[in-house]
Amino acid sequence: MPPTPSASSDNSTPDRASLEPTHTLEPIAVPNPRGEIKPLTSFRFLIGFTLFVHHGVNFHWSALHGPTSRPFGFVDFLHQGYGAVAFFFLLSGFTLAYNYSHRFARPDGRQVLKFYVNRVASIWPVHLLAFALAAGFVIDDLISQPAHTLTTALPSLVLLQAWMPLAGPDTVSLGFNGPSWSLSALMSFYLVFPLLCFAVLRVWHPTRRGLLLAPALGIAATAALAWTWQGDSYSSWFFHTFPALRLIDFFTGICACLIFLHPATSRAADRRSRTWWTGAEVAAILGVFIMVAGKDLAPLAVRYSSWYLPAIGALVFTFAHARGAISSMLSKRAPVYLGRISFPFLMLHVAIMNYLFSAGLYGVNPWLGNAVALGLSLSVSAAVFRWYETPLRRIIRARAGAWVDRRMAGPDGYAVSDPGEAPAADEGDEDKVATERVA
């Protein structure tokens, strides 16, 4: 690893000001591949399983009480999917910044194009498979009401549905394969991510306090707006699925990662013992649990995002250090593997539930229906990850990446790049890093 530039040019002991340079965040932009943060990889499955439970509650309750009945009591407590989506977006921002901030401080065209290629390769194969599975439920509708069905299906196919409240938000943005709306938002975040990194690292030059304050103000403003505008279907779309608003979740993750990567943060972390970090991990988990337990204190529009973000940000920041006993448990092979198969698990489990519901299994016994859905979702996800998602991702990256290199080649036929650029940790095999595919 090259030496980290110091905020001070002399050899004296750095004072408090030198630990938080006001003019630059250059130390963050070190061109160096970074290894996997295994606890964050394991968190990906926690997100997927929370969403499975959220949707399982819906199917369970519909089987017992009808589709229009709303769950209550402890069953409603299990409805934590909104917090999981906020977790997903925040962790996406964190891990993208972890893998790419060192390159997008000074981006060039080839880097940006290959970044976009990698993002498409990461999500589109599984997205298309999930779309095909969901299409099985709309064949009759396509024949009887083609215009209405295509209005829902086509935006979902090209991942534009989260931008569209047309014909009611539930009809378009959450229609067809419901979980894919999060990919629609994520594709929008991918498009602006290089610009966000450049703006933060080369234009804004914030201190660590600035990186903490900026998302805090965004979260507070969103919460205030959500508290005053709620109750109609368009407010639900605006606070739940509208990508421009959910960008705050993603940006919070970026800022948390840049604070994490700052040399002063690393020096402070080194001074803490394993016992201290274990206590910090317990405290971070309790913080999230408090927000989950107190969710009814806030209206639904606030709980879509703002309610959970501060606690989730603290959780991700704490476990990114991977220094406590709980991090050690989350770094074991089993939870890390579950994290790696979590993307197909997330994208396919609702379609699997729909097929089981249509087959009448939930009507026989809702508990049995969810148990079978869980087993099938895990099995199918493992197979898809090994024999479909991973091979296709590598093929797309290799072929499209070679095309980018040819298009960006200089007069001598070699790709033009920053001479200081190091190979990305995830260009060879994204599964070796804590990637953003935590949907």
Q: What is the pLDDT along the chain (439 residues), one digit of tens a residue?
A: 444 333 333 333 333 333 333 333 334 433 344 688 999 999 999 999 999 999 999 888 777 766 656 665 666 677 789 999 999 999 999 999 999 988 898 878 889 999 999 999 999 999 999 999 999 887 777 777 887 788 888 999 999 999 988 645 456 778 788 899 999 999 999 999 999 999 999 888 889 999 999 999 999 999 999 999 987 778 888 999 999 999 999 999 999 999 999 999 999 999 999 999 999 999 999 999 999 999 889 999 999 999 999 999 999 999 999 999 999 999 999 999 999 999 999 999 999 999 999 999 998 999 999 999 999 999 999 999 999 999 999 999 999 988 888 887 655 454 444 333 333 334 334 434 444 443 3
Closest CA to 85 of 172, 211, 185: 185
Which residue matches tokens 């998602």?
389
Closest CA to 429 of 340, 348, 333: 340
For 296, the token pair is 């009814």
The separation between CA 349 and the C-alpha centre of its own chain, rounded to angstroms, equals 17
* Cβ 84 vs Cβ 398: under 8 Å: no
pLDDT at 428: 36
Angle at Cα 309 formed by Cα 308 and Cα 312, nearest 5°? 85
pLDDT at 439: 33
For 96, the token pair is 């993208």
Q: Which residues contact 247 (CB under 8 A, 6 or more apart)?
A: 188, 189, 192
For 171, the token pair is 């009809």
* Cβ 96 vs Cβ 183: under 8 Å: no
Which residue matches tokens 């991990």?
281
Closest CA to 55 of 392, 399, 362: 362
Closest CA to 61 of 82, 51, 75: 75
Angle between helices 309-320 and 38-65 (to 10 degrees): 140
**Rounded CA separation 246/182 (Å):** 10
pLDDT at 66: 66
pLDDT at 73: 62
**Rounded CA separation 260/233 (Å):** 38
* Cβ 89 vs Cβ 246: under 8 Å: yes
Angle at Cα 309 formed by Cα 303 and Cα 312, nearest 5°? 120
Which residue matches tokens 């530039």?
5
Closest CA to 366 of 10, 19, 56, 27: 56
The secondary structure of 6-20 as a DSSP string is PS-SSSSPP-HHHHS
pLDDT at 107: 78
